[in-house]
Structure formats: structure tokens, C-alpha cells
């Protein structure tokens, strides 16, 4: 249920984009993101830092999209989020005692430290690539193409990439 709840803002954005336009969809995205944060806190007593950062960026870029009537703001939100995550992961890779990915997931899985460093670097590259591809699509291709990419392609790629990481972990632990 909790994982599905995190998809509600994106699905709402897509539906309202198809019915109305990107500006109404951006307003709905801000509202549903806020509601998702509140529901997550009330029901599960948690507010992940990633969801909070994403919400702040949605508020900044969604509001800018609506106020300035410029779609580039909302289109670049995911690029900024992904590139920022990539850089933070890279910084933790080389400047911290523990890679960030370990800090985020050590409650769920126990891995040797070298695997944490590998996964940290792999996710950093993945986020950077997704951010750069989003930038290209947002800037050079049509709005419909970007919406399709953001809602469906990025989601599918992330799920496949996550499954690939899971298989990689299993393989490395043999």
C-alpha cells in the first residue's frame, strides 16, 4: 500500500495532463504530493527524506511552472532531483565513511562493504544517466513524449534496474 501511495502523485499528474493540460496537472501534482506526505506520516509514522526532497522540488518547480506559464520548470525537476541524488551518492562514495546507499538500505539487507560501494556507484551512474536523458527529452522533444517518458519509461527503467541490482546482489553473495 505504501509503495502504491508514492505513485499517486505521478498518476494524478498524468491523468490531469491528459484531461486538461500541464499547468493543471502541475497544480494537482503539488496537491497530491502534499497529501501523500501527510498520509504517509499519519498512517506509517514516517516521512522519507527522498519523498520530502521530491516534494520540495515539486513545490518549487510546479509553482514556477504555473506562475510563469513555462513548462520547462516542471520538466527539469526530475533532472535536478536525479543529478543531485547522483552527486550526493558520489560524494558519499569518496568523502564519507559509509556510502549513502548503505545508510538508506542497511535496515533491509546486510551486505559486505565492498558491495555497498559498488551499488552506491552503480546507482549514482544510473541517476545521472536518467537525469541527462530527461534533460534531453524535456528540452528537445515534444511535451507528450516527455510525459510518456517521465510517467512510464522512467518508472519501468527504474523497476528493471532495481530488479537487476537485486539479481546482482544474489550473484555476488554466492
What is the tens place of the pLDDT at every residue in 49-94? 888 888 999 999 999 999 999 999 999 999 999 999 999 999 999 9
Rounded mean pLDDT, 13-31: 97
Mean of all residue pLDDT scores within the chain: 93
3-state secondary structure of 48: coil
pTM: 0.89
Q: Of 68, 89, 107, which marks where a domain is finished? A: 68
The whole-angstrom separation of Cα 3 and Cα 162 is: 14
Note whether 60 and 81 are same-domain residues.
Answer: no
The total domain count for the chain is 2
Residues of the chain with pLDDT > 90: what percent? 80
Note whether 61 and 93 are same-domain residues.
Answer: no
CA dihedral 61, 5, 15, 29 (to 10 degrees): -20
Instruction: Indicate if the pLDDT at residue 1 is higher than 70.
Output: no
CA 139 to chain centre: 19
Note whether 100 and 23 are same-domain residues.
Answer: no
Q: State the CB neighbour count (10 A cutoff) for residue 57.
A: 18
Note whether 138 and 169 are same-domain residues.
Answer: yes
Amino acid at each position: 500500500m505504501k509503495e502504491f501511495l508514492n505513485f499517486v502523485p505521478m498518476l494524478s499528474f498524468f491523468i490531469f495532463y491528459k484531461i486538461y493540460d500541464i499547468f493543471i496537472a502541475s497544480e494537482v501534482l503539488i496537491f497530491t504530493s502534499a497529501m501523500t506526505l501527510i498520509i504517509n506520516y499519519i498512517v506509517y509514522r514516517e516521512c522519507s527524506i527522498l519523498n520530502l526532497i521530491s516534494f520540495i522540488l515539486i513545490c518549487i518547480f510546479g509553482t514556477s511552472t504555473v506562475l510563469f506559464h513555462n513548462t520547462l520548470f516542471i520538466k527539469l525537476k526530475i533532472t535536478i532531483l536525479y543529478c543531485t541524488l547522483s552527486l550526493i551518492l558520489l560524494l558519499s562514495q569518496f568523502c564519507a565513511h559509509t556510502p549513502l546507499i548503505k545508510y538508506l538500505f542497511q535496515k533491509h539487507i546486510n551486505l559486505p562493504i565492498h558491495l555497498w560501494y559498488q551499488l552506491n556507484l552503480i546507482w549514482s551512474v544510473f541517476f545521472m544517466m536518467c537525469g541527462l536523458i530527461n534533460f534531453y527529452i524535456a528540452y528537445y522533444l515534444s511535451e507528450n513524449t516527455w510525459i510518456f517518458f517521465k510517467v512510464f519509461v522512467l518508472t519501468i527503467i527504474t523497476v528493471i534496474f532495481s530488479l537487476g541490482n537485486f539479481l546482482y546482489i544474489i550473484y555476488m553473495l554466492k
